[in-house]
Amino acid sequence: MLRNYSNSRTLGDNIRLGTLTAFTAGTINIASLLIFLSFTSNVTGHYAILAAEISQGNWTQVLVVAGWIFLFFFGGFIANLSVINFNKKSKYFAHALPIILEILCLLAVGIYGQFYYKKTLEETEMLVALMLFATGLQNGLTASISNFSVKTTHLTGTTTDLGILFSMFTQKKFRKNPELIGRAKLLMSIMTAYLLGAVFSGLTYYHLEFRVFYVISVCLLVVIGYDFYKINLRHFQTEYRYYKIYHKPTLLAFLYYRIHSKDEKRTVSRPNTNAKLVFSEK
């Protein structure tokens, strides 16, 4: 989900990433609405509030709402900054860092809300700001690594794109276009996951309260852990192939060999100091 970048990503990569992150975005948005009476997965409504506060001359609230919008923007800025600066060193780390920061923000909201929250206006504004920064990180990351194909914290563009696609599907030539079909599948999976996350949050909040943010953090850990597992499994297999070619067993090669060669009545040989490639000339 995270290790591939831009045009090298497959439809499956985008669907997995979009589904899990959209679920968390829907959960965050409804939790913040029930707790703080404010949406935090997008800033469309906040722009309207900003305009209303400006017209009424409530300059303190203008600064607060402008700060919220800036933090959502800043989250996207930090996410893409991580991608473009660390991508050459480690794509996985570059793409995982914004998710890690998002988890830390959500854990901070959950812990503070569970143990310290006194329901004051200042606390509410601070926690809403932190959540907007977290969702800005998520939206910026998913858009950046998917070449703007995946945006999961709001559904305005998703609904518009689906309307356009479904109108195109009224013609046979478009219904047979695999690229358009794949795009529709991706958008439908994002929309469905976001809705399921929102419903889940609405049903469980009254039992979990601020602990719902711990559940969201676990979902995001799945996103990080999936690629961590895949990358290390690939490394595990590479070590095994190294053994097969060079006949120099390493610990990982030995373990892989033992797991996948139970039916073969042979064991890993001792290291050969004069090892040659299997296909080397004798």
Supply the mean pLDDT for the chain. Answer: 83
Q: What is the mean pLDDT of residues 116-121?
A: 93
Asked whether 186 and 14 are in contact (CB, 8 A), the reply is yes
Q: What is the CATH number of the domain that holds 101?
A: 1.20.1250
Q: What pLDDT, on the 0 to 100 scale, is given for residue 162?
A: 93
pLDDT of residue 154 exceeding 90, the answer is no
Report if residue 31 sits inside a domain.
Answer: yes
Cα separation, 179 vs 159, in Å, equals 18
Report if residue 273 sits inside a domain.
Answer: no
Task: Give 17-40 pLDDT, tens digit per residue.
Answer: 889 999 999 999 999 999 999 999
Least confident of 88-92, 103-107, 131-135: 88-92
Asked whether 42 and 154 are in contact (CB, 8 A), the reply is yes
Report if residue 262 sits inside a domain.
Answer: no
Cα separation, 150 vs 9, in Å, equals 11
Q: Which residues of 29-39 are buried (b: 16+ CB within 10 A; e: fewer)?
A: bbbbbebbebb
Report if residue 252 sits inside a domain.
Answer: no
Look up residue 201 and give its two tokens. Answer: 């949050």
Confidence of residue 271 (pLDDT cuts 50, 70, 90): very low
Highest mean pLDDT among 138-152, 174-188, 237-251: 174-188
Report if residue 236 sits inside a domain.
Answer: no
User: What CA–CA distances, in Å, run from 203 to 112, 212, 217?
Assistant: 22, 11, 18
Q: What is the mean pLDDT of residues 125-148?
A: 92
Q: What pLDDT, on the 0 to 100 scale, is given for residue 212?
A: 93
pLDDT of residue 134 exceeding 60, the answer is yes
Q: What is the mean pLDDT of residues 35-49?
A: 91
What is the domain count for the chain?
A: 1
Q: What pLDDT, on the 0 to 100 scale, is given for residue 233?
A: 56
The whole domain housing 80 covers 6-231
| Of residues 192 and 223, more confidently modeled | 192
Q: What is the mean pLDDT of residues 229-235?
A: 60
Confidence of residue 224 (pLDDT cuts 50, 70, 90): confident
Q: What is the mean pLDDT of residues 5-12?
A: 73
Report if residue 240 sits inside a domain.
Answer: no
Cα separation, 44 vs 39, in Å, equals 9
Q: What pLDDT, on the 0 to 100 scale, is given for residue 130?
A: 96
Report if residue 99 sits inside a domain.
Answer: yes
pLDDT of residue 215 exceeding 90, the answer is yes
pLDDT of residue 55 exceeding 70, the answer is yes
pLDDT of residue 280 exceeding 80, the answer is no
pLDDT of residue 186 exceeding 60, the answer is yes
